Structure 1
Amino acid sequence: MPTTAELVALIAEPSESLSIEHKSWLDLSERHSQATLAKAVIALSNHGGGIVVFGMRGDDAVAGLQSLPRPDAIGRYRQDDVNAAVNRFAEPRVHCSLLFARHPNTNVEHAFVVVPGDEHVPVMSRRDHAGVISAQRCYMRKPGPQSEEPFTAQEWRSILDRCVRSGRDDMLEAIRIIVQGRAGVTPDDARLEQVVDFTSRAISRWNELTENLPSDDAGKMPLGRYELTFDLQNVPNVATLANLRDRMAAAGQTRHTGWGPFVTLHREPLTPYARERCIEAWLGAPDVERYQRTPAHCDFWQANLDGQFFLMRGFDEDGVQSRPAGTLFDVTLPIWRVGEAMLYVARFARALDDNASITLRATYRGLGDRTLTSWNGRRAIFDNRRCRDDEAVIQTQASAVEFEENLVEVMHPMLIPLYERFDFFELSAQMVAEELAEMRANRF
């Protein structure tokens, strides 16, 4: 489920994508509005999930999407009303979640309908409403973005492939419960040497960029950070940086959180740029007007023509105003953040060759005296488990197929040494599986 910060980002810096649809306020007591919402939800469900954002609409092409207050005639939405409206038209039934968040500037409360994407069959409409939706039609998301019927074989294939994958994930989860397997191996010394060398050069470059920032600036991630370095083998070379950029954009089409790995922003000086044999982005540049500039939103990343990826990010925990920075370590975030990055790189690699092998080395810095917690209350953490080490390095090597299809088995043994730093906390495979399932169900 998306966090409040992720929801606020959708209205503070709105940009529509295939998994996000912004709509003006709809009166869900009216059939026309019910049909409009149902069509959007059906299309998003067939896309693999997404979010409908209410109260963001504008006719001014220059100003873009604007925050609009809910009309007095329209009452505050209720989840039962949302699902009743959707399932008047949808077959099979789709159970959506309803969340709310306020715009940071207008203080307008917006509604968010979170659409799941775990159906094993395509979702279709079961009745007509003139000019909006037609019976026995299957809708999908298309560039624009817009919700339309699939017309080509490729469009139908994308819907059916998603349904097959959803069924396969359930089957693998059932097998996983019976037999807790492992995947991934310890990287060999030669590959680790390449990874460490690339990591060192990337950090040196980041030090150059942040040299003139104050020591306590969020862009310097002063209290802690993590670094993820990926190295791809058994893949053909990417010939040009433009081709690398396009392949990264394709891999980034699937987003499970609002601030995913290798974030691409489209305004200077935050937009990625070409540098030597790599694409580089630094999101910590000072004096840039933006909604959030916390350590967790000042990423630095590189990707090069040799199939190497580096991502540095500060801890989300250090940007929570109600909690003292530098003291907490959330029990679920490493699973979500590392897991999403692994899936991103696996998609990139498999687009080049299904036989791709991936080495991952992750370094966590600034762990000393942090206490394990669950900042959203989803996990019960007791005993004030504290970390005495300041740094932890974890690593694994597996195929791109294993990254995608056996992610729990790859991640669980890799993460155990990190969690053990917190007074021998025992990370269970079940918790990794549950959190990854929750993360993969999200679409942004």
Structure 2
Amino acid sequence: MAELLTAQLEALVASPREDLGVEIKSWLDLTNKDDCATLAKIIIALANHGGGFIILGMRETEAGKFEEAPGRPVTLAGYKQDIIAGIAAAYAEPAIQVGVYQVNGGVGVYPVVQVPGGHRTPIQAKRGSPDQKTLLVGRVYIRRPKPESAEPGTAAEWRELIDRCVRATRDDLLDAIRGILDGRETQSLPLPPSEEAQLAAWADDGLERWIARAPISPTMVKLLPPGFYRVAYKLVGQTTAIEAPELLEAVNSATTRHTGWSPFWVPTRAGIKPYVKDGAVECFIAAEDARRMVDDPAHADFWRVSPTGEAVLIRGFDEDSHPERMKPGTVFDVTLPVWRIGDCLLQAARFAAAIGRPDAEIVFSVKWSGLARRSLTHVEGRRLIDEGYISQQDTLDRVMTVRAAQVADSLPEILFEFLKPLYALFDFFQLPKSLVDEEAQRLRQGRF
């Protein structure tokens, strides 16, 4: 943070006060859709107001002062930049690029969200809240005295909002003209979110949905598997929406048959078969028994596919589904990433072909979580792995762009380059190219 911004944020936390440009909320649970919608509404309203700040983790006392709200989480990991930016991207249209800072103003550390202003069009909600009351699709929100975030209710409020957008457009235009006359480079208008940024927002939203479905312990703690991976992909340039029945058929026809548990499998049994949710086709294999996410995480898939070719799959590690053979959370199979990620790449390419875009570019992303303190092994015993290759890092994100038509022919080469950083986490283990070649061939032949 720049020194001026640092000082401003520390002053906000040290002497908190609410006004039209500052909102203070208690500890929002950003795995809860209602709380996500509440935060999104404030972000939209502040953006339309001209920008501002949101302080999380405080409440107002009867004396009118602010103090720490009850329920401070053990860590502030749930308020990271990517999480809150993902919420802004998922709920606001046009997209808003927020900043998130952990600020110590002398009274403890609190998350502060910085919302930019200067938008050329009014920001509206592109998704609604679960109760369809807090946040409504297509509605515009502004800041009003109280202060509060609400829809414009008078002609004057609408006029002020439109005037603010017009001024932003005029200022950019005048600055561009001055730049031309002065012979200097002009600052280009902000680009729309990149394909990777759009995919990241989609993948994060899927992860939030999955976490929200997790079982809860007697002490009200979400129970998640000790490890999981999240695969997401997006077809570049896909803007034509696919109707839900055709979308489900495309997913089903793209199902690979290389292993006994295919990615994006379309079950037909009542209770676990896919359904339409928020315009996307969604499936949760553990819908009838959420405990399966912990007891048998490798067979409790959650997946979503959007009408515009975005897909996300979340699945627990196979190694954690056999407690009778190995302690969950302790080992990482040396061959399974080749099988699982290879299977997902082939499915993505088949999906592109199923919707008539066999030569489309695919942005492909994987996040592994729960890697720390696991050691490399080979469960089947076909490959001898020396003991002692242990990961000290818990998560890894990888993303690449690949052409769908090249996946089948170049699968070993694609997997080798994509997976090398994953294996290097395990005490610099060097992934043998021969291992990838052999396991990819076994995958294609269905010799799991």
Structure 1 contact 216–222 (Cα < 8 Å) conserved:
no
Match of 2:433 among 429, 432, 437: 429
Partner of 1:348: 351
What's the CA shift for 1:234?
4.2
Provide the C-alpha distance between the structure 2 equivalents of 1:406 and 1:285, rounded to a whole number of angstroms: 36
SS in 1 for 2:235: strand
Which of 272, 296, 299 is the matching residue for 1:297?
299
Could you say which residue in structure 1 is the equivalent of 2:330? 327
1:268 deviates by 2.7
CA distance in 2, matches of 1:397, 1:386: 29
Structure 1 residue 394: Cα displacement: 1.5
| TM alignment of 1:268-307, pairs within 5 A | 268-287=270-289, 294-307=296-309
One-letter code aligned to 1:342: L
Between Structure 1 and Structure 2, how many residues are aligned?
254
Q: Give the alignment of 1:154-303 within 5 angstroms.
A: 190-210=194-214, 212=216, 220-235=223-238, 237-252=240-255, 254-287=256-289, 294-303=296-305
Q: Which amino acid aligns with 1:231?
A: K
Of the three residues 378, 385, 389, the one matched with 2:389 is: 385
Higher relative contact order (CA 8 A, sep 6+): 1
TM-score scaled to structure 1, two decimals? Answer: 0.54
Q: 1:248 to 1:334 in 2, by over 3 A?
A: same
Shift of 1:429: 1.9
Q: CA deviation at 1:382?
A: 0.4
User: Displacement of 1:224 after TM fit?
Assistant: 0.8
Looking at structure 2, the residues matched to 201 and 346 of structure 1 have their Cα atoms a distance apart, in angstroms, of 23
Give the distance between the partners of 2:283 and 2:217, measured in 1 at CA: 17
Gap change, CA 1:224 and 1:348, over 3 Å in 2: same
TM-superposition CA deviations, 1:104-127 (whole Å, max 9, x none): xxxxxxxxxxxxxxxxxxxxxxxx
User: Which of the residues 369, 374, 378 maps onto 1:370?
Assistant: 374
Distance 2:218 2:291 in 1: 18
The Cα shift of 1:190 comes to: 1.4
Give me the CA root mean square deviation.
2.6
Structure 1 position 442, deviation (Å): 1.0
Letter of the 1:387 counterpart: S
Instruction: Answer yes or no: is the 8 Å Cα contact 2:231–2:314 preserved in 1.
Output: yes
Deviation at 1:197, TM superposition (A): 0.5
Deviation of the 1:326 alpha carbon: 0.6
SS in structure 1 at match of 2:213: helix
| In structure 2, C-alpha distance between the alignment counterparts of 1:293 and 1:246, rounded to whole Å | 31
SS of 1:210's equivalent? coil
| CA-CA distance at 1:267 after TM superposition | 1.9
Aligned 8 A contact 2:349 2:358 in 1: no
Amino acid at match of 1:326: G
- TM-superposition CA deviations, 1:118-163 (whole Å, max 9, x none): xxxxxxxxxxxxxxxxxxxxxxxxxxxxxxxxxxxxxxxxxxxxxx
Change (3 A) 1:289 1:221: closer
Is the 1:235–1:349 Cα contact (8 Å) retained in structure 2? no
Higher Cα radius of gyration: 2
* Residue aligned with 1:269, SS: coil
Is this contact kept in 2: 1:202–1:310, CA < 8 A? yes
> 1:420 corresponds to which letter in structure 2?
A
How far the C-alpha of 1:341 sits from its partner, in A, is 0.8
In structure 1, distance between residues paired with 2:281 and 2:217: 23
Residues 321-377 of structure 1 show CA distances to partners (whole Å, capped at 9, x for unaligned) of 211111000000000001001101101102312320001110110100000000001
The alpha carbon displacement at 1:309 in A equals 0.6
The match for 2:162 is none
Match of 1:405 among 405, 409, 432: 409
CA displacement at 1:400 relative to structure 2 = 0.1
Contact 2:216 2:223 in 1 (8 A): no
Aligned mates of 2:327, 2:215 — CA distance in 1: 26
- Kindly state the Cα deviation for residue 215 of structure 1 after the two structures are TM-superposed: 8.4
- SS for the counterpart of 1:431 is helix
Maintained 8 Å contact 2:252/2:265:
no
**Secondary structure at the residue paired with 1:204?**
helix
Decide whether the 8 Å contact of 2:242 with 2:308 is kept in 1: no
Q: Distance between the aligned counterparts of 2:380 and 2:295, measured in 1?
A: 21
- Give the 3-state SS of the residue equivalent to 1:405 in structure 2: coil
CA distance in 2, matches of 1:289, 1:391: 23
**In the alignment, which residue of structure 1 is the partner of 2:5?**
none
1:344–1:315 CA distance, 2 compared to 1 (3 A): same
Structure 1 unmatched runs, 5+? 1-187
Give structure 1 regions of 4+ aligned residues with deviation exceeding 3 angstroms. Answer: 211-217, 286-290
Asked if structure 1 preserves the Cα contact closer than 8 Å seen for 2:363 and 2:401, the reply is yes
Q: Is the 8 A contact 1:215 1:222 kept in 2?
A: no
Provide the identity percentage: 34
Equivalent positions of 1:44-55 (< 5 A) are none
CA shift in 2, pair 1:359/1:213, >3 Å: farther
Q: TM-score, normalised by structure 2?
A: 0.53
Look up the match of 2:365: 361
* Deviation sequence 1:66-115 (CA, Å, 0-9, x none): xxxxxxxxxxxxxxxxxxxxxxxxxxxxxxxxxxxxxxxxxxxxxxxxxx
